[in-house]
Chains A and B, each alone.
Chain A
Amino acid sequence: MGSNSSGDKGTRNLVIGMISFIVVVGVVFSLISNRSSSTAAVPATVSEADGYGIVLNPESTPTIDVYVDYQCVACKYFEIINGGYLNEVIAQKKAKVVVHPLSFIGPESVLAANAVACAADENEFVDMNLALFQNQADQSNTGKWSKEYLAQLGKSIGITSSNFESCVNEGKYVRWTSNVATASGKADVNSTPTVFVNGKALDREAGEYGDLAKFRAALAAGGVK
């Protein structure tokens, strides 16, 4: 113990105080900013009851929930393998399909989710969904998916309304993507793609994501005729 031990003690307590403050502020900020926002703008078909997912065929049964991240490579393969059949199910109203675009891979996932929500408002969800997967970059967050790029992508598949363009460019539904993420957490979704048929998750180990025949069988077992 030196003669200046009381000064050392003061410095020590100050440092402990500062670091504790950082931790507490960080925790509080994180918990608040990751709660669902009731004031976020949401696409027309979206409701809290459906986990903030984009709803196609609200009147049909059974319900198929699909969780994807547009930058997820496994989701692209899921789309290639099963997307055609799923789009047929949507087109023929054989099920209520709820798509939850997650954004845990990063900022370009947020922009893509926003863009597909803007397309959903124009009744162009299915085409935009496909276009995003077809134009997925080789790696995540490369800068490929800018707002301008996504607006142009929509235009190239025939979404020409000025509402769509401004929706993409303004990032109208960016805050909504946090609500989707928070709801997916409550639904215990831990990877993408994840599909639930009437609340029952498909079996990854049994190949129900990677094999069209097994995917169809799983949907049929859930009541998709």
Chain B
Amino acid sequence: MQDKFKLYQPWLTLLARLGLGGVLLAAGGLKIGNLQKSAMSVRAYEMLPVGLANFLGFVLPWIEIGMGLLLIVGVAVSIVGLLGALTMLAFVVAIAQAWARGLSIDCGCFGGGGEIAPEETKYLSTILRDIGFLLLGVYLYYFPKGKFGLDK
């Protein structure tokens, strides 16, 4: 069992890197074409002061792209994995508080976002998905060394 994990671990790390890195790159890339919408979706969570929410809306997509690229090429995997997990944790908290407070918003995860009709909200599936990516990030923090990475 132990030996088997040793054999598969670098490949699992590669898959986790491509999974988390790919989703971060896609999430950031889909937002940079419409940053006003990105800012709007952060504001719609009603968690942050308006100025800070707008700033985050403009900045976050680039951070996501940066983390995604680093994970895909396999650089600084441990620390970026941890940062990715923390980012996902922040998303889970933000979505959960929106759900608990009865806001009807789109998560804005891949562009989109803002207030929507109550029956269109998808809080549970979004939270479960983000927890999945959070776990990938945690895995990468503990097992950063994988196949085809620049980290040695």
Chains A and B bind each other:
yes
Report which A residues bind B (CB closer than 8 A): 1-2, 5, 8-9, 11-12, 15-16, 19-20, 22-23, 26-27, 30-31, 34, 102-104, 106, 178, 181-182, 185-186, 188-191, 204
Question: Interface digits, B42-53 against A, CB 8 Å rule (1 contact, 0 not)?
Answer: 011000001100
Report the Cα distance A30→B63, complex, angstroms.
12
- Of the A-B pairs whose beta carbons lie under 8 Å apart in the complex, a sample of 11, sorted by A's number, is A8-B152, A12-B75, A19-B70, A23-B62, A23-B63, A27-B59, A104-B36, A104-B114, A186-B51, A191-B40, A191-B116
Q: Which residues of B contact A185 (CB under 8 A)?
A: 36, 39-40, 43, 50, 54, 57
With known contacts A30-B35, A34-B36, A188-B50, A22–B69 Cβ distance under 8 A: yes
Report the Cα distance A195→B59, complex, angstroms.
28
Once the chains bind, are A104 and B40 in contact (CB under 8 Å)? yes
The B contact surface, by secondary structure, is helix
Is B141's CB within 8 Å of the partner chain A?
Answer: no
Is B15's CB within 8 Å of the partner chain A?
Answer: no
Once the chains bind, are A106 and B58 in contact (CB under 8 Å)? no
**Interface size on B (CB < 8 Å)?**
34
Shortest beta-carbon distance from A195 to chain B in Å: 14
The 4 closest A-B pairs by CB, nearest first: A191-B115, A23-B66, A26-B62, A190-B44
Once the chains bind, are B50 and A22 in contact (CB under 8 Å)? no
With known contacts A30-B32, A190-B43, A8–B65 Cβ distance under 8 A: no
Once the chains bind, are B152 and A22 in contact (CB under 8 Å)? no
Q: Which residues of B contact A31 (CB under 8 A)?
A: 55, 58-59
Is B131's CB within 8 Å of the partner chain A?
Answer: no
Once the chains bind, are B59 and A16 in contact (CB under 8 Å)? no
Q: Which residues of B contact A16 (CB under 8 A)?
A: 70, 75-76
Other CB < 8 Å A-B pairs besides A15-B70, A104-B37, 20 of them? A5-B152, A8-B150, A9-B152, A11-B150, A15-B73, A15-B75, A19-B69, A20-B66, A22-B62, A26-B62, A27-B59, A30-B59, A102-B36, A185-B40, A185-B43, A185-B50, A185-B54, A185-B57, A186-B54, A204-B115
Q: Which residues of B contact A188 (CB under 8 A)?
A: 43, 50
Q: Which residues of A contact B32 (CB under 8 A)?
A: 26, 30
Shortest beta-carbon distance from A34 to chain B in Å: 6
Once the chains bind, are A34 and B58 in contact (CB under 8 Å)? yes
Task: Considering the complex, give the chain A residue whose CB is closest to the CB of B51.
Answer: A186
Q: Which residues of B contact A27 (CB under 8 A)?
A: 58-59, 62
